[in-house]
Amino acid sequence: QEEHLGEICFSLRYVPSTGKLTVLILEARQLKRMDSNGLSDPFVKVHLVLNRRKWKKKRTSVKKNTLSPYFNEVFVFEVPFSQIQNVDVVISVWDHDKVTKNEPIGKLFLGCRATGNQLRHWSDMLSNPRRPLAQWHILQPPE
């Protein structure tokens, strides 16, 4: 029985002619409780990995005391069409902690090497250029 870490909803959009990859982090729900008050202070990191090496990263603001944060924050990355097949997008949810270090709640990755729902979302994005496609994903253990 795998521990339920939560779910995250985001949209992906790719415009081949301009090489713009847009990741819109919408919201998360049923996140794992990380703090002693039974809540978390979640934020989301978006990493672009090119040829398996970390390449670009962005992060959302921190949402205080919630397990169902609403972000609605958009990030635009420049990814040339020639490189889109070599890129993975790693989306991770973290619990912000002022005293100790931030703790990972869960993560997932999308790209041509992904599987299941993540691969389907990525493939749908590539086959529908310029259209934002939103989908819920279940978080995987952060390792």
Domain ranges of the chain: 7-138
23-52, pLDDT tens digit by residue?
999 999 999 999 888 999 999 999 999 988
- The CATH superfamily of 7-138 is C2 domain (2.60.40.150)
In sequence order, what E strands does the chain have? 7-15, 20-29, 42-50, 53-59, 70-78, 87-95, 103-111, 133-138
101-132, pLDDT tens digit by residue?
999 999 999 999 999 999 999 999 999 999 99
